[in-house]
Amino acid sequence: MDSNSVSWPVLIVSGQFNAENDEGFRLRELERELVDNHRCSVIPSLSYEDADEICRSRADFGCVIVDWDIPAELPGERMRPAGFVELVRARHRHVPVLLLTGSAGLKDIPAGTLARIDGCLWKTADTIRFLAGRIRMHLDEYVQSVYPVFFGELVKYAREYKYAWHTPGHMGGEGFLRSPAGTAMFKFYGENVFRADLSISVPELGSLLDHSGVTGEAERNSAAAFGADHTYYVLNGTSTANQIIWRSRLTGGEIAFVDRNCHKSLNYAMVITGAVPVYMIPRRNRRGIIGPVRLSEFSPASVRKKIGASRLVPRDRRREGVAMSALTNSTYDGLCYNVTNIKKQLEKSVGALHFDEAWYAYARFHPVYKDHYGMTEGSVEADHPPIFCSHSTHKLLTAFSQASMIHIKDGGRDRIDPDIFNESYMMHGSTSPQYGMIASLDVATRMMQDNGDIMMGDIIREAVRLRQKVVGIGKELRRKKKGDWFFGMWQPAKVRHKGKMALFEDVDPDYLAGRQEPWVLTRSNNWHGFDDIEPNYVMLDPIKLTFTTPGLDDKGRMAARGIPAAVVTNFLIDRGIVCEKTDYYSFLLLNSLGTTEAKQGTLLAEMLRFKELYDADAPLAEVFPELVEAWPGRYDGIGLAGHCQAMHEYFRRHAILDAMQAAFEVIPDPVMKPTEAYHQVVAGNVEYVELKEMMGRVPAVMMVPYPPGIPIMMGGEVMNRKAAPIHKYLRLRQDFENEFPGYEGDIHGVERDERDGQKFFRTLCVREA
């Protein structure tokens, strides 16, 4: 495999590059030899401090050369060479580090430093050609080792330039070059994408369906990295990963204990398997933020009570245990469960535990999340059930979109048979997998193995600093002008630090980024609004940032003036900043591996720009020109502040947050299983019913409003008097869209009819007999 040495530069750290002496002359000769004769690129750095900044900002070094004598040659250098070597090793654990030493030789180099490097280069004892050759040798060996098993074999095969007589039909991209559109695509993506788009006909790459060859090796390596006994790569998203898990464990009529806050793919899993659901009910605080399920709901007594009360579980099956539980971890607002506590309860009454950790694949790689993820370490007792975790590796790690993983930990007696599980896997897998996606999962794993703790430490620290900066900006504005406003953060106002409570923004970011305690929800420090929170049960994920907007306080009280979050996030979208989730007075951003300080700075600048426009009541035609152009009669002549206030007053007048709370506290009466409702859809025994006529009808499909993005009704549940709060909330949402066109929310399962300029919600319902 060609090391492509130009792409893996040599970092040379020395203060002698410009020196008019023999050392400076030889150093410049070494640089020329590396560039001209070894086709290397060289990054010169004149000090340890400068080099440390370079090492923090990039990871593509092929070799690092460190001049041991900088402190003697440059009196202003404050960092010591041994300290610099430690900093390099902390971030780049495997890159070759070579010391450039002078006449003093080894005498002043501590044993600890010698143990951390890959060799020494004497400044004057060897020829320039020899020194460059040694550097190139180390670089080549290192670059070969960078490629994980599957990706390395894929790159090797693509670089063998074989004539392909198999699928895919474009055959390394050649097929695209037969037309202008294809040529445009080829030029956009580059040749490597197409040369690596291969067929299952290539035996060197193994089989994803059989988990053989280097594909199987990559999956087994991922299992070791993520703490699983078995890992499976899934190429069509965690929605399919959830289907695979459920298909492998559940049959029609078996009982599933399901988080009502679950992703719709799990609801579809109930449809496909024919499972009978009983529900865990998550809490919500007065801001409308979804909280954790109460720990007491996981107790055997609570589970039996729910089964006994279910209208769908036949009396003769109510003594059966739960075949599968499914819990969302973390919640959509970043609340993470102490899985150890939950397992102690559920293992007594549940056959298998499933944690949907789609947004949480990184938790194992930093101590702040200890015990709060599904593959948490711990001894396996005989009666422990197997545990399944589904990870959207692409969401917050570095895999390609739709590239996900299933991780499985065997139970004590119930050990997963890979051949049996693979029947479900093959039912949902393609015989033509996308090899680039497999490679991305392989590489995502290696990245976390190499320095996942460092990367996670960085982004947690950056998230903490952003949190503190937002609070600091608000305080600064209020110091300058009493009563001024800015956005807030849903986080503790104070944390315990050095034995006393301290303001969050005043605490050392390294302390907050390195310890779990500040993030654990407690009753005594009730910033979160979950009054009955259990001890050592839930923590807030530091990298999931919920920003709050003015108009609603932590006790659910609506102020006279307010700024609905939808207006803010629409403003940010227009300026190239896309938020993950928008609620009524809060919005969620994710501080992931791809987040940079530049992105953070741009976000703050645009938030301050919004404030400036709001304070000036800038014309809506200037702030949202497309909105005004689309609905001129509705928004002409209105300013931004007036627009926000009108929407806020609508929410306040109609108590829409109270209505949402009431709606989601109801579990409607089921009259048929979700799978039976779906069978009505397939049979065509359904019809669209408008919301105003829906009382007494049975929706055949789930209805999922955003916010908050969880089912308000499942297919087969009846819209009766008990479900009246749901009907009211949907009606308020419908009326809001007519009052404020352009702010239509996504409601899965709800279509819109338009008549006379008005929208009317409708959904598929089972036909009445």
Give the pLDDT confidence of 320-379 residue by residue, as tens digits. 889 999 999 999 899 999 999 999 999 889 999 999 999 999 999 999 999 999 999 888
pLDDT, mean of residues 204-232: 97
256 vs 316, which has greater pLDDT?
A: 256
Residue 700 DSSP label: S
Q: What's the pLDDT score for residue 3?
A: 53
pLDDT, mean of residues 410-433: 94
Q: Are 226 and 405 in contact (CB under 8 A)?
A: yes
Q: What's the pLDDT score for residue 42?
A: 96
Of 381, 307, 297, the C-alpha closest to 342 is: 297
> Confidence band (pLDDT; 50, 70, 90) for 425?
very high
Segment 469-485, tens digit of pLDDT: 999 999 999 999 999 99
List, in order, residues 6 or more apart from 603 with CB less than 8 Å away.
466, 572, 577, 589
Q: Has residue 103 got a pLDDT over 70? A: no
Q: What's the pLDDT score for residue 745?
A: 87
Contacts 24+ apart (CB under 8 A), 595-598: 595/459, 595/462, 595/463, 597/462
Q: What's the pLDDT score for residue 1?
A: 45
pLDDT, mean of residues 104-129: 88
User: What's at 581, amino acid-wise?
Assistant: K
- How far apart CA 762 and CA 693 sit, in angstroms, is 9
Segment 228-246, tens digit of pLDDT: 999 999 999 999 999 999 9
Q: Has residue 710 got a pLDDT over 90? A: no
Write phi, then psi, for 279 (nearest 5 degrees): -115, 140
> Confidence band (pLDDT; 50, 70, 90) for 493?
very high
Partners of 539 in the beta sheet? 336, 520
pLDDT, mean of residues 172-177: 92
pLDDT, mean of residues 399-425: 96
Tokens 């030789």, located at residue? 105
Q: What's the pLDDT score for residue 320?
A: 87
Indicate the pairing of strand 10-13 with strand 500-503: unpaired
Q: Residue 262 to residues 229, 242, 492: CA-CA distances in angstroms?
A: 25, 11, 26
Half-sphere exposure of 136 (CA within 13 A, CB side): 21
How many CB atoms within 10 Å of residue 372? 25
Q: Has residue 201 got a pLDDT over 80? A: no
Q: Has residue 5 got a pLDDT over 80? A: no
Q: Has residue 534 got a pLDDT over 60? A: yes
Residue ranges of alpha helices (H) inside 616-718 are 620-623, 625-630, 632-635, 640-653, 656-664, 674-682
Q: What's the pLDDT score for residue 708?
A: 61
Q: What's the pLDDT score for residue 707?
A: 61
- How far apart CA 189 and CA 374 sit, in angstroms, is 37
Mean of the per-residue pLDDT values of the chain: 94
- How far apart CA 678 and CA 749 sit, in angstroms, is 13
The pTM of the full predicted model, rounded to 2 decimals, is 0.94
Of 339, 297, 303, 296, the C-alpha closest to 322 is: 303
